[in-house]
Amino acid sequence: MKTISQEDLKKLHEVQVEILKDIDKFCQEHNITYFLIAGTLLGAVRHKGFIPWDDDIDIGMLRSDYEKFIKTYPSDKNNKYFVQTLETDSNYWHSYAKIRKKNTFMNEAKIASLNLNKEIFVDLFPFDNVKDGGYDKIKYRANIIKVIRESIYVKRKIITLRDCRIKLLSAIFLIFPVKTLYKFQKKLMMKYDKIETTNVACYIGEYQTRNEYLKKDVFLPVKKQEFEGEMFNAINKPEVYLEQIYGDYMKLPPKEKRVAHGVLEISLDTTKEK
């Protein structure tokens, strides 16, 4: 599969850090807590920056901060960046948010042929209060949430029905409009939003929910971590989170597994192309 050059990857990284810096500044000004997660956190701990072959930035927020951010960030900003969610964009397909930089372009293999927003972005994932007592307490809820996500992907033509894990249930969900599916999914995720719990989880991340089911004190209070020469918020106990997801996280994977998400091309200023 064709991928971008190392030179373009470096340029992509620079724009993504620019977006992250703006998010960080906004969060400080508005008393919102975010934290680096997933491969971005791994890169910060292991490389003090991007994993060399990675091509995105992932951050997380607890649900209350997430909802505050997506409601206030656009209204407080100039036209340089925007927040994209299923609530704000009828063509969107994820159950988490992307913060995109206008007048840029980033084409990914999985959506290359689709007419969707393709600006350079940072991913933002919500972490929800969950029932305490271990992953088994929420596994059925987590499975339904993932089936709904796959049904939304089918409706958006990201995948086909045959790619879904529970085809019959996905087919039933396909009867409903995307926004209806998303509202139902969000209601399931926020079941314990008004209840104080010891644990939180990310239901719609790129990893299995069981791997992102952790005690809240793993995430908070946040602490600063170096990433690409800047200091950003990282979770309180990164070693607990990273070991649960990656195992021996300080060990580099074999060369054949050092692959990115499939960025095909980028443009840093699409206004020059119009």
Q: Does the structure show a pLDDT above 80 at 256? A: no
Could you tell me which residue, 115 or 142, shows the higher pLDDT? 142
**In this structure, is residue 20 part of a structural domain?**
yes
Name the domain count of the chain: 1
**In this structure, is residue 137 part of a structural domain?**
no
Q: CB 76: neighbour CB atoms within 10 A?
A: 9
pLDDT at 95: 92
**In this structure, is residue 176 part of a structural domain?**
no
Q: What is the mean pLDDT of residues 112-137?
A: 91
pLDDT at 181: 94
pLDDT at 273: 59
**In this structure, is residue 134 part of a structural domain?**
no
Domain of residue 108 covers 6-128+203-273
**In this structure, is residue 185 part of a structural domain?**
no
State the DSSP H helix or E strand holding residue 152, giving kind and residue range, or none if neither. helix 139-155
Least confident residue range of 69-78, 167-176, 227-236:
69-78
Q: What is the mean pLDDT of residues 240-251?
A: 94
Q: What is the mean pLDDT of residues 92-114?
A: 88
User: Alpha-carbon distance 143 to 170, whole Å?
Assistant: 11
pLDDT single digits (tens) 46-61: 999 999 999 899 999 9
pLDDT at 3: 75
CATH number, domain with residue 218: 3.30.460
pLDDT at 264: 80
Question: Residue 156 carries which DSSP code?
Answer: T
Q: What is the mean pLDDT of residues 96-105?
A: 94
**In this structure, is residue 167 part of a structural domain?**
no
Cis peptide before 126 (omega within 30 of 0): no
User: Alpha-carbon distance 246 to 266, whole Å?
Assistant: 29
**In this structure, is residue 187 part of a structural domain?**
no
**In this structure, is residue 182 part of a structural domain?**
no
